[in-house]
């Protein structure tokens, strides 16, 4: 997607080949259209592109005859046919023929991109941003010639004011985005195989060429220098900002980019646009729910749908508790900590039944629904185009309106039924041996005294000595039958929150798997089987 935006709006020439076409079929032309707002004054000028301005309505619709309340926008169309020759045009239905866009026209969009390692902008070579910062005119050329002569004589490039000023600007911009600067940026001589040329003058950090810095610092410095060369309204494409950066620098760089936009807005300047892809939940959390856009492919290679959360209040809990789930292709929302931890533990045993494939290989993820927010969160995810399901216990009944909304959104709800909570579903399906194993695990996690006292308060007729013994012998002195004893233990476990913790729930999973395997007809086994089948669908 970033490639498409760059191809449509970048000033550089792009070469295309057969693999760029869908199924390598060159009879179907590549057509990319980008409608751009936040236009700079140069773009809106009638002498340049202003006659082709269209209107973007407050309802998010595009029309060719703009009115005062519309945002001015321009639509660029890139077409590539079987000849492999790209054609850039400005389109507007008010005109019979589109306007051809030159590379100078496209340069007005101010597009810059951070992708991989692009070290050419860290030197004063032809076409680099540092060369533009210095000034692309006769005076700059004369100064560069002087720099070459100075380099040959003494390589004391820091005395050349234009180079030193550009290096200082680059340092300030790079620091603002979180790049590490050991000393100070300065121009320095770096001879390559090509001999002495403008590319031999490179940015240094206290004598060390900046291209030898760490990957993260090189990327941030490159982005900062490119962005600073655009006077206003830059379109910044950032491919995986987390690449080479520690979490704290991811947070700092995104915060600075947002602050730059806020400052531009405050000064009533075009704020520009930032399109960023990421696989980092740190980056996602710092960008915030307001900035989130989810791209879903309707048909492979044919159409792309771009969505945003229908309810920011609904999506924020996921951004807080499990933002990494948004990188999945299908999401199971788990209502509580017990259920979430249990499923995360159970999923470790599923690959053995599915050819060694974990659910992650299929793009499936299990997300924290944060209790009562699970339903609204599942609906928000479904609204973003994710195949979504929900797993919950049945001790509380969903409101009819919620049930109807989930059904309408195509969100299946997996629950035990019969008003069972998870503890009841587990203990009522467990054999005497497994109930005892569950009690042993609870004592390991919560302490012998705590668990035994909890049970003694609920069933004082048993006495602590019997409670500390094997569960299979409890019925000898109890007035309760086997089913009632299990119900009592489950009620204590739920009320005292023995397993209400993701870590403890995960450790509980092996015992739950044994309970389900031994009682395949139980609500526990049936529901967990449905969850597994959906995640592997």
The pLDDT of residue 245: 83
DSSP character for 268? Answer: T
Q: Return the SS3 of 433.
A: helix
Task: Name, of 54-68, 156-170, 192-206, 425-439, the range with top average pLDDT.
Answer: 425-439
The pLDDT of residue 493: 95
Read off the pLDDT of residues 485-513 as tens digits, 9 standing for 90 and up.
999 999 999 999 999 999 999 999 999 99
The pLDDT of residue 536: 94
Three-state SS annotation for 218-254: HHHHHHHHHHHCCCCCCEEEEECCCCCCCHHHHHHHH
| CB contact at 8 A, 235 and 110 | yes
10 Å CB burial of residue 219 (0-12, 13-18, 19+) is buried
User: Among 135-139, 181-185, 379-383, whose mean pLDDT is lowest?
Assistant: 135-139
Q: Return the SS3 of 189.
A: strand
Mean pLDDT across 512-529: 96
Distances from the Cα of 460 to the Cαs of 11, 397, 467, 468, in angstroms? 81, 32, 10, 13
Distance separating alpha carbons of residues 253 and 179, to the nearest angstrom: 9
10 Å CB burial of residue 528 (0-12, 13-18, 19+) is buried
β-sheet bridge partners, residue 487: none
The pLDDT of residue 496: 94
The pLDDT of residue 230: 66
Strands (E), 115-200: 185-189
How big is the CA angle at 330 (ends 500 and 406), to the nearest 5 degrees? 75
- Assign 156 a pLDDT band (cuts: 50, 70, 90): low
Distance separating alpha carbons of residues 79 and 81, to the nearest angstrom: 7
Distance separating alpha carbons of residues 430 and 439, to the nearest angstrom: 12
Residue 366 has pLDDT above 50, yes or no: yes
| CB contact at 8 A, 98 and 89 | yes
- Assign 127 a pLDDT band (cuts: 50, 70, 90): low
Residue position matching structure tokens 């089913």: 483
Q: What percent of the chain has pLDDT over 90?
A: 37
Distance separating alpha carbons of residues 91 and 482, to the nearest angstrom: 77
- Assign 152 a pLDDT band (cuts: 50, 70, 90): very low
Nearest to 275 by CA among 3, 61, 30: 3
- Assign 451 a pLDDT band (cuts: 50, 70, 90): very high
- Higher pLDDT residue, 126 or 128? 128
- Assign 455 a pLDDT band (cuts: 50, 70, 90): very high
Domain boundaries, the chain: 2-108, 114-236, 309-537
> Tokens in use for 468?
């500390």
The pLDDT of residue 221: 81
Q: Return the SS3 of 259.
A: helix
- Assign 391 a pLDDT band (cuts: 50, 70, 90): very high
Cβ within 8 Å of residue 358, ≥6 positions away: 347, 350, 351
> Tokens in use for 310?
């229908």
The pLDDT of residue 115: 65
Mean pLDDT across 46-73: 89
What is the bridge-based pairing of β-strands 62-63 and 86-91?
unpaired
| CB contact at 8 A, 109 and 235 | yes
Residue 469 has pLDDT above 80, yes or no: yes
Q: How far apart are the first and last CA of the chain?
A: 27
Residue 194 has pLDDT above 50, yes or no: no
Residue 401 has pLDDT above 60, yes or no: yes
Distance separating alpha carbons of residues 265 and 281, to the nearest angstrom: 27
How big is the CA angle at 145 (ends 144 and 149), to the nearest 5 degrees? 115
The pLDDT of residue 154: 60
Distance separating alpha carbons of residues 498 and 492, to the nearest angstrom: 8
Q: Return the SS3 of 90.
A: strand
- Higher pLDDT residue, 229 or 35? 35
Distance separating alpha carbons of residues 110 and 392, to the nearest angstrom: 50
DSSP character for 399? Answer: P
- Mean pLDDT score of the chain, rounded to an integer? 85
- Assign 145 a pLDDT band (cuts: 50, 70, 90): low
Distance separating alpha carbons of residues 394 and 200, to the nearest angstrom: 71
- Higher pLDDT residue, 225 or 410? 410
- Higher pLDDT residue, 352 or 114? 352
Residue 301 has pLDDT above 90, yes or no: no
Read off the pLDDT of residues 302-331 as tens digits, 9 standing for 90 and up.
555 666 666 677 778 777 777 888 888 899
User: Among 120-129, 404-413, 483-492, whose mean pLDDT is lowest?
Assistant: 120-129
User: Among 56-60, 79-83, 122-126, whose mean pLDDT is lowest?
Assistant: 122-126
Distance separating alpha carbons of residues 372 and 392, to the nearest angstrom: 10
DSSP character for 16? Answer: -
Mean pLDDT across 450-467: 91
DSSP character for 498? Answer: T
Mean pLDDT across 150-173: 73
CB-side neighbour CA atoms (13 Å) of 8: 22
* Nearest 10 degrees: Cα torsion 310, 314, 315, 320: 160
Read off the pLDDT of residues 341-361 as tens digits, 9 standing for 90 and up.
999 999 999 999 999 999 999
User: Among 10-14, 40-44, 63-67, 305-309, whose mean pLDDT is lowest?
Assistant: 305-309
Mean pLDDT across 447-466: 92
Q: What percent of the chain has pLDDT over 70?
A: 87
> Tokens in use for 450?
């705590």
């Amino acid at each position: 997607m970033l490639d498409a935006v760059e191809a449509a709006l970048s000033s550089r020439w792009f070469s295309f080949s057969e693999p760029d076409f869908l199924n390598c079929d060159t009879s179907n032309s590549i057509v990319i259209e980008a409608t751009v707002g936040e236009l700079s004054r140069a773009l809106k000028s009638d002498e340049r592109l202003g006659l082709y301005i269209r209107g973007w309505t407050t309802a998010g619709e595009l029309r060719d005859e703009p009115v005062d309340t519309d945002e001015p926008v321009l639509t660029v169309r890139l077409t590539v046919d079987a000849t492999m020759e790209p054609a850039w045009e400005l389109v507007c239905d008010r005109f019979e023929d589109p306007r051809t866009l030159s590379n100078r026209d496209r340069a007005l969009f101010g597009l810059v991109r951070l992708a991989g390692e692009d070290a050419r902008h860290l030197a004063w070579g032809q076409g680099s941003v540092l060369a533009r910062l210095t000034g692309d005119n006769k005076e700059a050329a004369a100064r560069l010639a002087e720099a070459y002569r100075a380099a040959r004589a003494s390589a004391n490039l820091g005395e050349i004011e234009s180079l030193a000023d550009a290096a200082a600007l680059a340092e300030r911009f790079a620091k603002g985005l979180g790049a590490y600067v050991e000393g100070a940026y300065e121009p320095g001589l770096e001879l390559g195989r090509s001999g002495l040329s403008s590319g031999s003058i490179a940015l240094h950090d206290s004598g060390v060429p900046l291209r030898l810095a760490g990957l993260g610092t090189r990327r941030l410095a490159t982005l900062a220098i490119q962005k600073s060369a655009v006077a206003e309204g830059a379109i910044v494409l950032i491919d995986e900002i987390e690449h080479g950066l520690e979490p704290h620098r991811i947070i700092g760089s995104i915060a600075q980019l947002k602050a730059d936009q806020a400052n531009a807005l405050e000064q009533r300047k075009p704020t520009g646009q930032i399109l960023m892809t990421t696989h980092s939940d740190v980056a996602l959390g710092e960008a915030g729910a307001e900035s989130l856009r989810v791209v879903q492919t309707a048909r492979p290679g044919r159409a792309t749908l771009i969505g945003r959360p229908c309810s920011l209040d609904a999506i924020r809990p996921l951004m807080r508790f499990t933002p990494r789930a948004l990188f999945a292709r299908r999401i199971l929302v788990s209502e509580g900590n017990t259920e979430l931890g249990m499923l995360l533990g159970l999923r470790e045993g599923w690959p053995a039944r599915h050819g060694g494939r974990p659910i992650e290989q299929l793009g499936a993820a299990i997300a924290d629904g944060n209790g009562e927010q699970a339903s609204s969160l599942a609906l928000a995810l479904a609204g973003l185009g994710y195949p979504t399901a929900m797993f919950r216990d049945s001790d509380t009944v969903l409101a009819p309106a919620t049930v109807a909304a989930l059904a309408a959104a195509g969100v299946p709800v997996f629950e035990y039924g019969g008003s069972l909570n998870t503890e009841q579903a587990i203990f009522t399906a467990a054999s005497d041996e497994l109930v005892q194993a569950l009690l042993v695990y609870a004592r390991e996690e919560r302490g012998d005294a705590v668990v035994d006292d909890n049970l003694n308060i609920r069933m004082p007729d048993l006495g602590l000595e019997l409670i500390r013994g094997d569960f299979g012998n409890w019925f000898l002195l109890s007035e309760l039958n086997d089913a009632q004893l299990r119900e009592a233990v489950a009620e204590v476990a739920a009320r005292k929150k023995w397993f209400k913790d993701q870590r403890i729930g995960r450790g509980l999973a092996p015992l739950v798997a044994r309970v389900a395997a031994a009682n395949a007809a139980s609500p526990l086994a049936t529901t967990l089987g449905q969850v597994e089948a959906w995640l592997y669908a």
